[in-house]
A and B are shown apart, each in its own frame.
Chain A
Amino acid sequence: MSAISITGLHKHYPRVHALKGIDLVIPRGEFFGLLGPNGAGKSTLINIIAGLTRFDSGSVSVLGQDVVRQYQRTRRFVGMVPQELTFDPFFNVREVLRIQSGYFGLGRENDAWIEELMGALMLHDKAGANMRALSGGMKRRVMVAQALVHKPEVVVLDEPTAGVDVELRKSLWAFIQRLHREGHTIVLTTHYLEEAEALCDRIAILNHGAIVALDSKQALLAQGVGRTLRACITTKEPLTTLPAALSPKLKRQEGNRIELQLDKHTDSIVTVLDDLRAHGAVIEDLRTEAADLEDVFVELTRKKQP
């Protein structure tokens, strides 16, 4: 049985066809990344899984249960950390977590888990503090705790580290990785490509409501654009023109710095430098980088517009 199974999913908003026939299966225990530019349909897709958004056609199930017909079961399976920083200003941290636990039918027997969660997310010192008094990062941790308060098997995180500082991002990463090790299925949407690269086993790239790539992280890096090499070259004077052979490979040019996208198999960095020198350029610095997910992401979302 898969953790999440989506078939032929369509969602229309008044002026937008937000999801255009999504088919996706996420096995249990996977760390799955959902990437895409703003408006690609990532949040719509995970909101449908969590039951926050209705859909027009298709089917979505969590652990074999339909999210519409058996919503009371599927919502117990899913813990979701929403993207927007939101909180109830009337309550303190412990009250918020006990109330959230109660909604799932859990009483005081769940208090030990709530305390454990607060410990793991370093919230103990703030347990009695009103939500309004917490920093943004602390509020984000409470939202993570709220999503886990009923021990869901599937944890969905909608850009959990958006706008948080580096330290908190790292501690959240460590915590999410721990959840994954403990057997939770993790679905993560993120804008931070390094986040997906560092954490996810498999990645789907969504663009204009359709999946344009779905593969393991390694396979994505290896395919097409993944063969590319980025060369950042600094010249003494800004170049007004480029050698004809290099123009198609230009990715970015800022002042005296040019960024070229080269094919590892067919382009030679030595030839590139020779071409530039023959063109009159005095090269001061050279830096090369292997392709990362950003290259894949940019390439796929640019080319494969359905």
Chain B
Amino acid sequence: MNLTGAYTLFYKEILRFGKVLLQTLIAPVITSLLYLLVFGHVLTGRVEVFPGVSYIAFLVPGLVMMSVIQNAFANSSSSLIQSKVTGNILFILLTPLSHMEFFLAFIAAAAVRGLIVGLGVYLVAIFFVAVPVQHLGYILLFALLGSAVLGTLGVIAGIWAEKFDQLAGFQNFIILPLSFLSGVFYSIHSLPLFWQRLSHFNPFFYMIDGFRYGFFGVSDVSPLLSLAVVALFFMTLSGLTLLMLKTGYKLRD
């Protein structure tokens, strides 16, 4: 395995988002903070959440996870589409990097950005509201898996999209609805039965529910079920991505 090569690609991706910190790290933290302040203020007392958990505290893990997944997706997808549109992706394609090394480097960099933004949102949020931590292991596990899943989806979208417009479509019609309808702002038990059942088909729901379990020790479904669903989703997406990379789909004509 070309470890130095994979590490270099990972490092290059980190360096890339590090050069535009304002856009890649600071802006998402501020956006999440605004969500917290506005939704926390407007919806406190109006939305039924877990017993003994204030709405604003309930909201924090949801917003942290949403930041993690959206930024992980943004990192790999935007890097790939930019490289494809400008053509500089060929400097990677000309190298001996294997499809697995390519995959791991992009996912790891996406996860790092997602986790840094998530940590930033958490650190800012706890200035405003006390959020308990019941199971740190679950928090870390779901954050890691969630960022890896979205990093993988970002690679798929980045490879599939041929222009920024298509990537925006992927983001706005798939990622955004799935993350908003995953229980970031509410417990699915507060939904009508039909929507509750439909939510169970949304893999993002399990990421957020399992992540939130780590904070409150309470969740809509068993955290082990969530873990199993998210892990299976990750493996399926990884398999698909590796196949795309191996066959050179939309990368090597």
By a beta-carbon cutoff of 8 Å, the part of chain A in contact with chain B is 13, 50-54, 71-73, 75-76, 78, 80, 82, 84, 86-91, 95, 99-100, 102-107, 146
Contacts and interface: CB of A to CB of B under 8 A. Distances in A.
How many of chain B's residues touch chain A, expressed as a range?
20 to 34
A95 B15 contact: yes
A52 B252 contact: yes
Interface stretch (B81-89, B107-115, B124-132, B217-225): B81-89
A107 B95 CA distance: 15
B94 A99 contact: no
Contacts of A86: 86-88, 90-91
Given A88-B83, A91-B15, A103 B93 contact: no
Interface of B: 2-5, 7-9, 11-12, 15-16, 19-20, 83, 86-88, 90-98, 248, 252-253
A99 to B, nearest CB: 5
A95 B8 CA distance: 11
Given A51-B252, A86-B86, A103-B97, 6 more contacts: A52-B253, A54-B252, A54-B253, A75-B94, A90-B19, A105-B4
A107 B8 CA distance: 9
Contacts of B97: 103
B96 A71 contact: yes
A88 B90 contact: no
Contacts of B90: 52, 82, 86
A103 B5 contact: yes
Contacts of A107: 4
Contact of B95 (A73, A87, A95, A103): A103
B252 A102 contact: no
B9 A103 contact: yes
Contact of B86 (A51, A53, A89, A99): A89
26 contacts: A13-B253, A51-B252, A52-B90, A52-B94, A53-B252, A53-B253, A72-B98, A75-B95, A86-B86, A86-B91, A88-B88, A91-B12, A99-B11, A99-B12, A100-B95, A102-B4, A102-B5, A102-B12, A103-B5, A103-B8, A103-B91, A103-B95, A105-B2, A105-B5, A105-B96, A106-B4
B74 to A, nearest CB: 15
Contacts of B96: 71-73, 75-76, 103-105
Contacts of A52: 90, 93-94, 252-253
Contact of B88 (A53, A54, A75, A87): A87
Contacts of A72: 2, 96, 98
Contacts of B253: 13, 52-54
A90 B15 contact: yes
B4 A90 contact: no
A271 to B, nearest CB: 54
Contacts of B3: 105
A146 to B, nearest CB: 6
Contacts of A51: 93-94, 252
A106 to B, nearest CB: 7
Given A102-B4, A105-B2, A50 B15 contact: no
B248 A54 contact: yes
B2 A88 contact: no
A36 B94 CA distance: 24
B252 A104 contact: no
- Ordered nearest first, which 7 A-B pairs have the shortest CB separation? A102-B8, A86-B87, A103-B95, A72-B96, A75-B96, A105-B4, A88-B88
Nearest to B16: A90
B111 to A, nearest CB: 20
A88 B84 CA distance: 11
B79 to A, nearest CB: 9
